[in-house]
Structure 1
Amino acid sequence: MLWQMFEANATMYPEKRIGDLPGISVGHRFYSRAEMVAVGFHSHWLNGIDYMGQSYRKGVYHNYTFPLAVAIVISGMYEDDLDNAEDVIYTGQGGHDLTGNKRQIRDQKLERGNLALKNCVEQCVPVRVVRGHECASSYCGRVYTYDGLYKVVQYWAEKGLSGFTVFKYRLRRMEGQPILTTNQVQFSYGRVPQSVAEIRGLVCEDISGGQEDVPIPATNLVDDPPVAPSGYTYCKSLQIAKNVKLPANVSGCNCQGTCVDPRTCACAKLNGSDFPYVQINGGRLIEARAVVFECGPSCGCGPGCVNRTSQRGIKHRLEVFRTPKKGWAVRSWDFIPSGAPVCEYIGALVRTEDTDHVCENNYIFDIDCLQTMRGLGGRERRLGDVSVSAINSFDGDDQKSESVPEFCIDAGSTGNIARFINHSCEPNLFVQCVLSSHHDVKLARVMLFAADNIPPMQELTYDYGYALDSVSGPSGKIKQMPCYCGAADCRKRLF
């Protein structure tokens, strides 16, 4: 059928062209490579690089040096690819094992598509970028999404992960195009590094300086020259301000070793006579709750108890990476199952009133457990049994606590990896207040849990929870900040 279309000159765009094609906008989906070939959007069935050859030297392109790339497909076929959505490290063609294991088996050469992308760098010619990923609704099992024009800003040759020479191309998405949506871009193309030597753009081997059980590297493929995260001190436990006094430890359960019977465990009774976690994959939260009561220092059970799940520190291999628009961000090298704890929001525990004079601090997290429990400030009220009688300082007539949380966590100058996790209007993490050593909800621990199964290399995000027009500057004027989360239903503003 396709050959008949070519012979009849029935393709939509039989001649290759630089830039966008009329009628094919960002976000357009092709349900096979054949559709792209038929339209003339990308004319190769297998090759990732579509380019103009020497036959295009005449006519409107007579001033260009050929070959010249016009489009590429990113589909996870090369182990050396690294896809950061708006900033891409793309591996050239050739020397690839076609058996499906994505390995290089020979050196690549600077010819054909590889030479065409090199010429794009030198002549500032943009290329169309198409991303392909698995899709059950496509008859060929994959779908290809047009993600816009990218500028090829750099190229070089290096030894790839398999020891053979590969050509690498750095592409950056051009400004002024519709933003990428999170369901358009798949972040799992890049092969998870197996060692420090394989980490591309490494600017810090461990931002925690050995404090965390699992090192947290930082990478930067955006800035030139690349810089590491700075302007703060890493800490893995809350720093308590001098004018903040934590409540005394409450009496705990009498369980021994590990809590197993919710009918007799005093901590389980606080959670509605049930344990909030299941003992799967190191412990997973069954559902988001108004507040979770965990076992604490006065309990008889040990550290392996399922009701201490959030107290075990960071267990997944996390990475801080630089983005073109959102600053620093966080992703996991590991699969994170739904309900698994990711990290606690750590910083200085201070009184909210003491931060009123602080300007441009975007790392303050209000401890708003009371607001969540009551469904205030636009927050969705969470269902679930809560033992109110066990909560100290829970005063239903306290109007101040309803409007402004009394305490907050300031991670501006000191904090952990949570300070780098970005907002999203469609997040894959959720915030959960947890009580363990005491039962004062105004001083609850703030934990981030996986809201869904999260594949490796996908950015981790949570909803910052700002209401629009809720932030004012020193003069009292409403402040506005655009949102670049890229979600399909993005609110367009952070606040």
Structure 2
Amino acid sequence: MHFSINEDISDGIEKYPVPVLLEQGDEACIKTSWNPTNLKYVKTNVPGPGCNRELLSEQYVGCTCEKDCEVETCSCLQNFGSAYDTNGILTESFVKQQTSKPILECGDDCSCKMNSCSNRVVQKGVTAKFGVCYFEGKGFGLKILENLQRCSFVCEYAGEIVDRAEAKKRLQVTDSSGLSNYLICLREHVFNGDICTFVDPCCVGNLGRFINHSCDPNLIMLPVRINHSIPRLALFSRKDLKVGEELTFDYSGNATFSCDQNQGLAKPEGRYQESQEDQEESAVVGKRASKMRRKRNGNTQKNFTIKNLCRSSHKLSKDKIFAMKLKRNLNISGSVSQPSSSEEYHPSVGPRRICLHLLRHSSGSSCLDMGS
């Protein structure tokens, strides 16, 4: 039997209330672990220390569609095609594609209407009701409170957008203090280069902050762009979700959609090819994380790879150059250009996967779910 200690941690920001639901006996966890009601709630990402506010303020040129947007006529869809059907669900053709393509939604500068355009999904917010619950051995997590079909948008993983230097600083602080760290780094490969987006929902975030890890998750994270070149981290369902099911995603970013929805889910495979620098960083961070888990859990839980520690800040200039190239292809300058074969977009090296690096460890009662 659940009871609520907070009816809505979003304080009316979300479409539906986000309650904190506890069972009898869970009250003690509030005294010994971080209280979810202390979160400064935001609906989507906000600029944090080091965030390039110039990129946030620059909008790409919107479409002039008067009715529903179609690939043949909508400038927002002509470069990369449509990811959604008319009901806002990821299409099977998008899910099955072997080469990843960016998702670019219509934005504030577009003529199409919010309620009638099928290319506006993530910006509309959550599509179902959710509750924050306490899970023994894992800490707080997120449950879905109603059924939701496969390939539906669930929620964003929102927080502060920070630069590499600030991300590294925060990781060092939480690492030395033994506190939980929720920093996530999205790395996208395009134009023979890459760019990283760092999001930290630790103190400023949304309901996505509470979603635990699983090696066989029911959610997958995809980058979605709205208005500008900095992506939002959107979570979509990999399968039909049932009432009361805990939501999880793979922190390593190795999860894929099943190629055939009737064949069940394709389990995540570690196919991400790391550079030599990444491998060296993975070894250092992985050893540190493994040592902490052995100390905390007697080395009884499954290991997972923390693939990336923030690199030195000298690469920021390269990121800015890459961002300009990305903006060009996203039509921010007003031109519509189809990327050439040498300028393909790859969120990861595998089919329908993004390269996620979660700089996360935990201690105390806020433990990670290391997989089912």
What's the TM-score once normalised by structure 1's chain length? Answer: 0.47
SS in 2 for 1:315: coil
CA RMSD of aligned residues (A): 2.6
In the alignment, what sits opposite 1:342?
Answer: 154
1:82-161 correspondence to structure 2 within 5 Å: none
TM-aligned CA deviation for residue 309 of structure 1:
1.2
Poorly superposed stretches of 4+, deviation over 4 Å: 466-469
* 1:318–1:331 CA contact under 8 A, matched in 2: yes
Sort the Cα spacing of 1:472 and 1:206 in 2 relative to 1 into closer, same or farther, 3 A.
farther
Per-residue displacement from partner, 1:88-126 (whole Å, max 9, x unpaired)? xxxxxxxxxxxxxxxxxxxxxxxxxxxxxxxxxxxxxxx
SS in 1 for 2:36: coil
SS in 2 for 1:419: helix
Return the index of the structure with the highest Cα Rg. Answer: 1
Unaligned runs of 5+ in 2: 254-269, 271-278, 295-299, 306-372
SS in 2 for 1:306: coil
In the alignment, what sits opposite 1:252?
Answer: 62
Q: Which is worse superposed, 408-417 or 460-469?
A: 460-469
Are residues 1:409 and 2:199 paired? yes
Q: Distance in 2 between matches of 1:266 and 1:277?
A: 16
In the alignment, what sits opposite 1:269?
Answer: 78
In the alignment, what sits opposite 1:493?
Answer: 303
Per-residue displacement from partner, 1:461-494 (whole Å, max 9, x unpaired)? 1100178982746xx95322659xxxxxx99113
SS in 2 for 1:270: coil
Q: What amino acid does structure 2 have at the position aligned with 1:422?
A: N
Are residues 1:223 and 2:29 paired? no
Q: What amino acid does structure 1 have at the position aligned with 2:67?
A: G
SS in 2 for 1:407: strand
Q: Distance in 1 between matches of 2:234 and 2:284?
A: 27
TM-aligned CA deviation for residue 319 of structure 1:
0.5
SS in 1 for 2:198: strand
* 1:427–1:460 CA contact under 8 A, matched in 2: yes
Q: Distance in 2 between matches of 1:224 and 1:310?
A: 34
Q: Distance in 2 between matches of 1:346 and 1:433?
A: 12
1:411-450 correspondence to structure 2 within 5 Å: 411-438=201-228, 440=229, 443-450=230-237
Per-residue displacement from partner, 1:433-486 (whole Å, max 9, x unpaired)? 111212x3xx2111000111111111111100178982746xx95322659xxx
Which protein has greater RCO, CA pairs closer than 8 Å, 6+ apart? 2
TM-aligned CA deviation for residue 223 of structure 1:
3.0
* 2:49–2:163 CA contact under 8 A, matched in 1: no
Per-residue displacement from partner, 1:44-93 (whole Å, max 9, x unpaired)? xxxxxxxxxxxxxxxxxxxxxxxxxxxxxxxxxxxxxx5xxxxxxxxxxx
Per-residue displacement from partner, 1:379-422 (whole Å, max 9, x unpaired)? xxxxxxxxxxxxxxx542x4xx4xxx543001111100000001
Per-residue displacement from partner, 1:161-180 (whole Å, max 9, x unpaired)? xxxxxxxxxxxxxxxxxxxx
Sort the Cα spacing of 1:290 and 1:471 in 2 relative to 1 into closer, same or farther, 3 A.
farther
Sort the Cα spacing of 1:447 and 1:459 in 2 relative to 1 into closer, same or farther, 3 A.
same
TM-aligned CA deviation for residue 256 of structure 1:
0.9
What's the TM-score once normalised by structure 2's chain length? Answer: 0.62
Find the partner of 2:113 among 299, 302, 308. Answer: 302
Q: What amino acid does structure 2 have at the position aligned with 1:279?
A: T
Name whichever structure is richer in helix by fraction. 2
In the alignment, what sits opposite 1:315?
Answer: 127
Sort the Cα spacing of 1:471 and 1:330 in 2 relative to 1 into closer, same or farther, 3 A.
farther
SS in 2 for 1:336: coil
Are residues 1:240 and 2:47 paired? yes
Are residues 1:479 and 2:289 paired? yes
SS in 1 for 2:120: helix
Q: Distance in 1 between matches of 2:84 and 2:301?
A: 33
* 1:318–1:333 CA contact under 8 A, matched in 2: yes
Q: Name the count of aligned residue pairs.
A: 252
SS in 1 for 2:77: helix
